[in-house]
Amino acid sequence: MQDEDAGEDKFTGARRAMVEEQVRKRGIASPRVLEALLSVPRHEFVPAEFQADAYADKPLPIGEGQTISQPFMVGAMTEALELAGSDRVLEIGTGSGYQAAVLSGLAREVISVESHTSLALAAQERLVRLGYANVHVHNGDGSLGFADAAPYGAILITAAAPEIPPLLASQLCEGGRLVIPVGSQEDQELLQARKESGVLHSRVLFDCRFVPLLGRYGWTRPGRKSS
């Protein structure tokens, strides 16, 4: 866990500009979220050949056909989780581990599930090396959630789902928040849902486009929904 700018490095200026221009000026106001984005060295989470673009206003390839989300999207999703600092958070879709690192400073513990074994192993190794000790990566189908450590104060799905996976709703605490892109494989809406009296109430934040959630409650493969 780190609570200030990630030391001085050659990307410090680019990181500050990213937070100011791409995130704060577009409406992400939470000081804690902005600080979390300032604290994480995003260039450590992208492949070497894309390092020069690490702070650019776009998603980048991370291998296996997957992407690290655009900085604004990470800021918006993080803010929508409304983390108080004491929550345990479940992330589905570890990818590079960047979003999990951003969550690390805002939560008590982050459990992140990734279905690609190579990505899960690389992200776990990276998060340990960079000192994010309260993040734990698991390799498996996150469309089932992660029952072993449930319930969670907040759940974030960073891949596009055809609907809110039912087991995720059951693994959320009363009063907990769930943030997820829902729609087709081409276009989705980012939803923020809150569990009240055992029922999820959701609202649309904005349109978005994510790589597909595969697995039992996602799509079997690009173009098809499971079951």
Give contact residues for ligand SAH (rule: CB under 6 A). 62, 66-69, 92-93, 95-96, 98-99, 113-116, 119, 141-143, 158-159, 211, 213-215, 218
Nearest to 206 by CA among 185, 179, 226: 179
For the bound state, the minimum distance from the C-beta of residue 82 to ligand SAH, rounded and expressed in Å, comes to 18
Q: What CA–CA distances, in Å, run from 159 to 45, 59, 129, 212, 227?
A: 18, 13, 25, 5, 18
In contact, 94 and 100? CB cutoff 8 Å: yes
b/e burial code for range 106-137 (CB count within 10 A of at least 16 → b): bbebbbbbbbbeebbebbbebbeebebebbbb
Q: Which is nearer to ligand SAH, 96 or 196 (CB)?
A: 96
Strand 199-208 versus strand 188-196 pairing type = antiparallel
Nearer to ligand SAH, 87 or 104 (CB): 104
Residue 93 CB, nearest approach to ligand SAH (Å) = 3
CB 74 within 8 A of CB 98: yes
Catalytic residue flag (residue 69): yes
Q: Of 34 and 103, which has the nearer Cβ to ligand SAH? A: 103
Q: Cis omega (within 30 of 0) on the bond before 151? A: yes
CB of 154 to ligand SAH, least distance (A): 14
Report yes or no: 143 and 157 within 8 Å, Cβ to Cβ.
no
CB closer to ligand SAH, 99 vs 201: 99
> Which of 39, 69, 96, 104 is flagged as catalytic?
69
Q: Give strand ranges (E) for 47-165.
A: 60-63, 66-68, 88-92, 109-114, 135-139, 152-157
Partners of 219 in beta bridges: 214, 225
* Diameter over CA atoms, the chain: 50
Minimum separation from the CB atom of position 179 to ligand SAH (A): 12
Question: Shortest Cβ distance from residue 197 to ligand SAH (Å)?
Answer: 29
Give 109 or 196: the residue with its C-beta nearer to ligand SAH: 109
- Among all residues, which ones are annotated catalytic? 69
